[in-house]
Amino acid sequence: MIEAIPTQFIIIFVGLLAVMAFVGLNAIVLVYLERKVAGFIHRRPGPYEVGPPCFPHGILQPFADGLKLVGKQLFTPRGADSILFWLAPMISIAPAIVCFIVIPFGPHLQIVNTNVGLVLILAFTGINVLALCLAGWASQNKYGLIGAARDISQGVAYEIPLLLVVLSVVFMTGTFNLFDIADGQGAWPWQWYIFYQPLAFIIFFICALAETNRNPFDLPEAESELTAGFHTEYSGMGFACFFLAEYAYMVVASCIIAILFLGGFQGPVLPGGWWFLAKVYVLLLIMIWIRWTFPRVRFDQLLNICWKWLIPLAVLNLLITLAVIAI
Amino acid sequence: MAQENQDLIRPFADTATDEPIINQAPVQKILNICRAMSLWPMTFGLACCAIEMMSFGMARFDSARFGAEVFRPSPRQSDLIIVAGTISRKMAPLVVRLYEQTPAPKWVIAMGNCAISGGPFVYKNQYGIVEGVDLIIPVDVYIPGCPPRPEGLLEGLFQVQKKLTGRRWWPLPEQARTSDK
């Protein structure tokens, strides 16, 4: 019976479970980190007192938040499409977990080594836009609808420079395989692709912020204008799923940046996995830092940055890369 | 709708809630501790008490220490309604609506004299002010003051936590000292 199951299937199944644990753990760490960093930036302690004395500095705060959200009443608004309404948070979180399957966390730590890894990630992260659109549409709420409309125009616009920039790195390496891209870079920082493609790195980082709906591009959930945007009507676990998905996509984006530009698991002394984790967390910290120090852009500014600056620069970057490769 | 046709005096809010799915005492006890430690207030200020409420969340008084700094703009995601200020008759239906929109485990703090009893606006023939928020929604904790200091609001938060879990979690403040010896 056991022999009938292919080994590849078992590996994927165990890997998916591990990835789910990783995503949950990351969300807990990131919630704490986000609130603590916000505290430091505002010159206040942040979560501090929650938990018994053996857990100082409010380490138990995310657990209290999570359990509270589980215990909250679930609510379907009158007039909402209840099937789509509850499907949307699941559609949001599920592709985020699939994305982690192809990411090489270390030289020997990758669930599936496929030669379309990068394409797979770009395809699956695109589904999040659909989930947010469904959430805003199904909740029968004007703020939700405006948030969804904003998210679609933002997501569609920022996919383009993102893909162009990824293309220039792919032309350099000649592969979509994430392991090979990371493996092709050297151990020392000056051998990483950030020094060959600095403009691509900056464009990719800005697009990653926009794609994950982080400040200064968090227009779909702009609190001061749209109550809470597309998740206005979600209580309890629906809201928690959207937050989990947002953090998961942040981690995915940081992983991709680390692999494409910062050498992935390559590093001088320590083993690869630690380098990868360190790079990802530095990038996440920068994202959180940006969120708490920058004001939100206006919507026309957001689209102007994309269409007038990022896309021409990305095309230019691609052309220069091609010219250099051809020579 | 014409102004004179509006029913501005609403009856008491609908307080019926569903039973919890898992209603075991130990589960509810743990959940109640978690709820007490992460009371997310609603971004909802009615009058000058809201300024003190902002101060309560800012650097000097920092409600984040007790897990209560996540001011959610949507009532669906908030647990604690701080009624901070005067409730005019035009605002009363909206307060009721916000209360009814908040999902089940929810608590209300009436902050300041206006929210408790109408405060300085109680006089003969006044027509515009609801004399106390407890006339329209149920209230858990009253914080007197005009307006109360942010410490007072923190103490109100502790009282909500005490109501939830049955014990006081934080030490009592030292006796206030006056400047004369």
Residue B27 lies in a domain: no
pLDDT at position B1: 45
Residue B20 lies in a domain: no
Which residue of A39, A68, A233 is in closest CB contact with B35?
A68
Closest chain A CA to residue B28: A71
Quick check: A78 contacting B, CB < 8 Å? no
Which residue of B34, B64, B76 is in closest CB contact with A235?
B76
| Three-state secondary structure string covering chain B | CCHHHCCCCCCCCCCCCCCCCCCCHHHHHHHHHHHHHCCCEECCECCCHHHHHHHHHCCCCCHHHHCCCCCECCHHHCCEEEEECCCECCCHHHHHHHHHHCCCCCEEEEEHHHHHHCHHHCCCCCCCECCCHHHCCCCCEEECCCCCCHHHHHHHHHHHHHHHHCCCCCCCCCCCCCCCC
Quick check: B45 contacting A, CB < 8 Å? no
Q: Domain residues for B47?
A: 37-165
Q: Pull the structure tokens for residue A231.
A: 């998740």
Per-10-residue mean pLDDT, chain B, length 181: 54 75 80 87 87 88 85 88 88 87 88 88 85 88 90 89 85 67 52
Domain total in chain B: 1
* pTM of this structure: 0.86
pLDDT at position A283: 92
- C-alpha–C-alpha distance, residues A96 and A127, integer Å: 9
From A129-133, A271-275, B35-39, B95-99, the region with the lowest mean pLDDT: A271-275
- C-alpha–C-alpha distance, residues A88 and A96, integer Å: 13
In the structure, how many helices (H) and strands (E) does chain A have?
12, 0
Q: For chain A, what percent of residues have pLDDT higher than 90?
A: 12
Residue B5 lies in a domain: no
If you write DSSP's letter for every residue of A231-272 in order, what string do you get? Answer: GTT--HHHHHHHHHHHHHHHHHHHHHHHHHHS-TT--SSS-H
pLDDT at position A285: 92
- C-alpha–C-alpha distance, residues A118 and A97, integer Å: 15
Cβ–Cβ under 8 Å, residues B101 and A228: no
pLDDT at position B177: 62
User: Under 8 Å CB-to-CB from B140, ≥6 apart: which residues?
Assistant: B107, B108, B109, B160, B163
B66 contacts on A by Cβ (under 8 Å): 49-50
- C-alpha–C-alpha distance, residues A147 and A221, integer Å: 6
pLDDT at position B3: 54
Quick check: B158 contacting A, CB < 8 Å? no
Q: For chain A, what percent of residues have pLDDT higher than 70?
A: 99
Whether residues B170 and A60 touch (CB distance < 8 A) is answered with: no
Quick check: B34 contacting A, CB < 8 Å? yes
A35 contacts on B by Cβ (under 8 Å): 64, 69-70
What's the one-letter identity of residue A76?
Answer: T
CATH number where B84 lies: 3.40.50.12280
Q: Is the pLDDT of residue A1 over 70?
A: no
**A88-115 pLDDT, tens digit each:** 898 888 888 888 888 888 888 788 788 8
Residue B156 lies in a domain: yes
Q: Is the pLDDT of residue A291 over 70?
A: yes
Query: Residue A254: which pLDDT band, with cuts at 50, 70 and 90?
Result: very high
Q: Pull the structure tokens for residue A4.
A: 């009938």
Residue B91 lies in a domain: yes
pLDDT at position A230: 84
CA A66 vs CA A58, A59, A141, A243, A317: distances in Å? 14, 13, 26, 11, 43
Whether residues B64 and A49 touch (CB distance < 8 A) is answered with: no
pLDDT at position B178: 59
Q: A232 to chain B, minimum CA–CA distance in Å?
A: 6
pLDDT at position A312: 92
Whether residues A71 and B18 touch (CB distance < 8 A) is answered with: no
CA B36 vs CA A25, A123, B164: distances in Å? 23, 41, 6
Query: Residue A203: which pLDDT band, with cuts at 50, 70 and 90?
Result: very high
Quick check: A72 contacting B, CB < 8 Å? yes
Which residue of A47, A228, A231 is in closest CB contact with B64?
A47
Whether residues A71 and B31 touch (CB distance < 8 A) is answered with: yes
Domain boundaries, chain A: 75-326
Separation of CA A279 from chain center: 14
Query: Residue A314: which pLDDT band, with cuts at 50, 70 and 90?
Result: very high
Report CA dihedral (B108, B113, B115, B117) to the nearest 10 degrees.
Answer: 110
3-state secondary structure of A106: strand
What's the one-letter identity of residue B98?
Answer: L
The ipTM assigned to this model is: 0.79
- C-alpha–C-alpha distance, residues A155 and A165, integer Å: 16
Q: Pull the structure tokens for residue A228.
A: 């809470």
Which residue of B34, B67, B77 is in closest CB contact with A228?
B77
Section A207-236 average pLDDT: 84
pLDDT at position A315: 92
